Every structure is written in structure tokens, then in C-alpha cells.
Amino acid sequence: MADRLAGKVALITGAARGQGAAEARLFVAEGATVVVTDVLDDDGAALVADIGEGAHYRHLDVTQELEWQAAIDHIRATFGHLDVLVNNAGIGIPGTIIDTSLADYRRVIEINQVGTFLGMHVGAPLLRDSGGGSIINVSSMMGFVGGPARVAYTASKFAIRGMTKVGAIELGPMGIRVNSIHPGAIETDFIRAETRHLLPVDKLPLQRIGTPDDVAKLALFLASDDAAYSTGSEFIVDGGWLSTTAL
């Protein structure tokens, strides 16, 4: 076992599966105590049981401020401090500007954008009281460019990128670093089997789809003291997608 996060307590949202689950596994392996949160209670409990010591599950709907406050209060009472917050929870509902319903648009914004805001809003005071720490907001490569039939998702991910900048400015004096991660196409349940074949993997500079571990390793760096002088920055993990016009 390594120890890049030894003694740290981390909360990860949307961590029952995919990128969040990979982050939880890696963080625990690196010495952290991790509070895995999600609305997928069965998957979350199974993940924690599989990881074993160092992982704890808690139900958290990121759109609900009272649930956020209860989770943070629980961490304060149980562990005494919080050092890392990963705002990973997110969804995508395909739809063009014309076809997307207001209800679908609001649903994506509530989970992706409002959920990230609430994480920083409610979590920052405990990070401050703990002597500082790291907030990692998971955006997307679509926080840089638009995507067809992804109006709500793109809007939310641009917003996360902007909120990260504000968070870095306002929370930096408290010793809290705030950065955003921008994954490209990652092999998770988010990418459905029926659409995976449409990804132009052969045109990517690295010529492969990403894995949840690719994202988790970047999150580990930002969570650790190795990133002590990095804040307000975007960290891209997209296999070179944004570097080429071939796509």
C-alpha cells in the first residue's frame, strides 16, 4: 500500500460506479479514508464491501442541500476533518436545443451544476476548519467545446469549469485548492454499448478509449500534496481529443 493520501479523509460523489468507484479504490489504496456517496445504494454498499477497510458508504442526492449538510455533519462528527472533496456525480441526457425538454435540461443542470455548487458551498467550511484541502470538480472535454445533441450536458460542464475558477479565488486564502478534471471518452456505463462503436478511437492521438483508472490517477494527483501549488486549473484527460481537428 502506498501512502500519498495517508491520514486524509475524502468524500466522492457519484462513486458507486465508473470513475467515482475507481477513485474510491485508488484513494483507499493510497491511505485515505473514503466516504463513497451515491443514490445507487446497492451498488455503493457492494463497492464498499469489496474495498473493505477505509471505505464507507452514505446515500447522497447531490441536488439536495439538506442531504449535503447531513453528510458533511456526519464526516465532522465521525472523522473530525475533511481533506478532499470530489464532485464527480453527473448525468447526460442527449438532446438538441430544439428537442430537449425543459424538464430534461433542468435535471442535468440540477445534478451536474447545482450538485457541484452545493458540494463546494456546504463542504468548504469543513475543509477550511480542517486546515485546507483539495476540491476536485469533474467537468468534461465538453467544458471546452460544444457537442451536438448535448446542450444541457455542455452547458453544465462549462459552468463547472467557471465555478472552479471562482472557488479557487475565494477559497485559496483558506488553504483550499480547487481544480477541474476534463475527461474525454471514458469506458463507463455513461457510454452505452450501442454508441461506443461511434467513437472515433482510431483518430485519437493515443488511439484508445480512456479507462476510469486514467481519470482516478489524475484525481489522486490533485488530491495529494504533490499538487500543492495547483489551483484554478483545468486538467484534461482525453487521449488527445481536444488537440486535433480530425474529429
Q: Which amino acid, one-letter code, is at 82?
A: L
User: Is residue 153 annotated as a catalytic residue, yes or no?
Assistant: yes
User: Grid coordinates representing 163?
Assistant: 465555478
Has residue 193 got a pLDDT over 50? no
124-180 pLDDT, tens per residue? 999 999 999 999 999 999 999 998 999 999 999 999 999 999 999 999 999 999 999
DSSP 8-state class, residue 244: -
**What is the residue extent of each domain of the chain?**
9-243
Pick the CATH number of 9-243 from 3.40.640.10, 3.40.630.30, 3.40.50.12280, 3.40.50.720: 3.40.50.720
Please state, in angstroms and rounded to a whole number, the distance separating the CA atoms of residues 37 and 187: 21
Please identify which of the residues 57, 105, 153, 229 carries the catalytic annotation. 153
Threshold 0.75, pTM exceeds: yes
